Amino acid sequence: MASDQQTGGAPQGRRAIARARRREALARGWGQFRTRRAGMAGLGILLFFTLSALLAPVLFPPETISVTRATGELLAPPSGEFWLGTDDSGRSMLALLAWGARVSLTVGIAATLISMVIGTSVGIASGHYHGFGGAALQRLTDWVLVIPFLPLAIVLATVLGGGSTVTIIVVIGVTSWAGTARLIRAQTLSVEGRPYLERSRALGSGNWHQMTRHVLPNVFPLVLANTTLTVAIAILSETTLSFLGLGDPLRPSWGATLDQAFSNGAVSAGAWWYIGPPGLCVVLVVLSFTMIGRALEQIVNPRLGGQ
């Protein structure tokens, strides 16, 4: 900060240059992304689900998914009035799915944010500090990486109190950062070996400055590509945890709808319209994030080539 004022010879120059560079890099990235069909298809699917999530309250007023005010017949197969049939309380499946998209996407993205912040910080710090601290962080990462996710998540959710969306977000966030941390750590180590960091150290920059101004911008593209892949996993995890009954029953996600279908005997009733569509939505959204993530990864890390 102090150096900003001291060397402010070209006042708007430096910021503007940085911004222009960033814009250029983004445009280049987008140009590369556009040529990838799978990535673009993923983006299309994702846009569709994002729109349904945003428009859910407009298309389906809240009372359509209220258990007490549902108008349909119980467990009715698809018909002209209810395109995807109804659930065991007579609610329209289509409305449930649109509202479920809100929960599933929100949880997926919020949990990923937590996971990314922890994973990136731990990864950069453990790659930057070589002493005890770095080693301890690396150990912690290895531990969290090995512990099986679902049992740990179940235990955490029980401790934090199940049945709330916030709990699910926190649980997924704090259990899924280790993979990111390991990836970012490796990248940090390679960035730290480059001459410009040596120069920066020689000029007397502190740890914080090195990590935030030099390492972070360099690992950021990788973080971004990893983020989309993590969202995919987070949404799958949300579905699983909600299916196990840890979700908020009042705001049913796709997983919670599947839980309800399963617990209320939709399988033995042969109600395929109650079970099929929520899962299909999960598959499509997870697949779209995976395809976008893979396309980004190939752009960010050309070494992967046309895999």
Partner 1 sequence: MSLIQDVAGGGGHDPVPGPPPLPRKDKGGKGLSPGASFALRKTGAALGTLFFVLVVNFFLFRLLPGDPIGMYTRGRNVPAEQLAQLRAELDRPILEQFLTYLRNPFSSTIDSAQFNRPVWELVTERIWPTLLLVGTAIVLASIIGVWIGIKAGWKRGKSFDKVSTGVTLTLYSMPEFWLGMILLIVFGVGVLGLPGVFPIGGISTPGVDTSSLAGWLDVAWHMVLPVTTLTLVYLAEYALVMRSSLVDEMDEDYLTTARAKGLSDKFVRRRHAVPNALLPTITLIFLNLGFTVSGAITVETVFSWPGLGLLSYEALRGPDVALLQAIFLLFSIGVVLANLVADLLYAVIDPRVRS
Provide the binding-site residues for partner 1, judged by CB under 8 A. Answer: 139, 142-143, 146-152, 154-156, 158-159, 162, 232, 236, 239-240, 243-246, 255, 258, 261-262, 267-268, 270, 272, 275-276, 278-279, 282-283, 286-287, 290-291, 305-307
Residue 249 CB, nearest approach to partner 1 (Å): 13
Alpha carbon of residue 99 to chain centroid: 19
DSSP, collapsed to helix, strand or coil, labels residue 91 as coil
Geometric angle at alpha carbon 254, from 249 and 257, rounded to 5°: 50
Closer to partner 1 at the Cβ: 186 or 275? 275
Closer to partner 1 at the Cβ: 204 or 305? 305
Residue 52 token pair = 């349904």
Query: Would you give the DSSP letter of residue 76?
Result: P
Residue 37 CB, nearest approach to partner 1 (Å): 11
The number of residues in the chain equals 307
Residue 142 CB, nearest approach to partner 1 (Å): 7
Closer to partner 1 at the Cβ: 64 or 138? 138
Closer to partner 1 at the Cβ: 75 or 291? 291
Residue 20 CB, nearest approach to partner 1 (Å): 37
Residue 119 CB, nearest approach to partner 1 (Å): 17
Query: What is the phi-psi region of residue 163: left when phi exceeds 0, alpha when psi lies from -120 to 50, beta otherwise?
Result: left
Task: Residue 209: count other Cβ atoms within 10 Å of its Cβ.
Answer: 15
Cα gap 256→248, rounded to integer Å: 8
